Amino acid sequence: MSLYTSYFNETHNQVRLTARKFVDQHIRPFINDWEEAGTFPRELYNLAGEAGLLGIDHPEELGGSGADIFMKIAASEEIMRAGSGGLAASLGSLDIGLPPIENWASQELKERIVPAVLRGEKIAALAITEPSGGSDVANLKTRAESDGDYYRVNGSKTFITSGHRADYYTVAVRTGGEGYGGISLLLIERDRAGFSVGQPLKKMGWWASDTAELFFNDVLVPKSNIIGAENAGFFVIMSNFQKERLNLAVMANMTAQLALEECLKYVHQRVAFGKPLAKMQVIRHKLADMATDLEASKEFTYRVAAQIASGIPAVKEVSMAKNFATRISDSVTYEAVQIFGGMGFMRESLVERLYRDNRILSIGGGTHEIMNEVIAKQLGL
């Protein structure tokens, strides 16, 4: 019996099996080539949509399977088992690009955008980060000036997941004065005049992820494309961060899980000084510590997910879970490379990729330091 039966029911387990079969058939045989190529076929979105994987935790009335955090976690964990955080991030960019539309946009905008993305026919991305801003969302510079029935958008975004080939961008813009009170969200289609995308960005990890810079040069966007009320976008962005941070904690836990599993196989195969590494106390104790830390992190992440699923505010807890999970994945992936020794430094080794992919997890969705600021504020400091 699984340790986590209190979180995952039979339906979740069936979804997990579906996702596992999908990964085994459509991703795992090709992932090494896709990583080296720095991309994966767009067709994968169509296949994931047909399998029902993209619609998980999205509204039924728009073509999804309905809100279910643990169904999403089950599917996400299996997609991570392909061994590529970059593929998981790009295939899942809709999970940060669509929720603001689903929760705050007009019915017309929801119906025009969401169903096609959930079917895998279109790709959605979230565009907040700017070259000058990073985590300083409240001071973003991309400007949207009123121009009759349109906004005229000028500015740029960077580090945008699915940025190069997305069809729809949920874009944070400044429609008002300085600070968080002047920020709005707009849905901007890629075919609008004045919009352009830079070359795919080359990254330390997440090689298979499509990551790009976006440029807006007098892009006219209908005012009907606004998501939520004008100048009220900061609240929507902050609300959207909660599930993104939870998902990053899940990704960190799975990164550590895969690294640990690789080590547990390797220490039985690798012989040094006349005996398997598995018989050496220093290695055994290292693995025991890695497994203990990971177990604690997974349980904490699931507990926070259950809190969110119950509708209980979890701003502090999800920030804690992300920081804890990424700290553990930092440690576990580092030790995994150490256990593998020279082979851990080779590109043919999965732990080498896990080590690189892991590094972004304590940066994306709010850095470790920003998370600590959130936690401190929640503690009344």
List the catalytic residue out of 244, 262, 335, 352. Answer: 244
Torsion over CA: 364, 369, 373, 376 (sign): positive
Nearest to 205 by CA among 83, 356, 345: 356
**Contact yes or no for 332/288 (Cβ under 8 A):** no
66 three-class SS: coil
CA 379 to chain centre: 27
For residue 373, what is the enclosing H or E element? helix 368-378
Residue 244 designated active-site? yes
Q: How far apart are CA 62 and CA 49, in angstroms?
A: 13
Report the interhelical angle of 315-340 vs 281-309 (nearest 10°). 160
Structure token digits, residue 285: 């104790």
Torsion over CA: 95, 221, 212, 127 (sign): negative
Q: Around 45, how many Cα atoms within 13 Å sit in the side-chain half-sphere?
A: 23
Tokens 């997990």 sit at which residue?
Answer: 16
Q: How far apart are CA 13 and CA 227, in angstroms?
A: 35
For the annotated catalytic residues, the residue numbers are 244
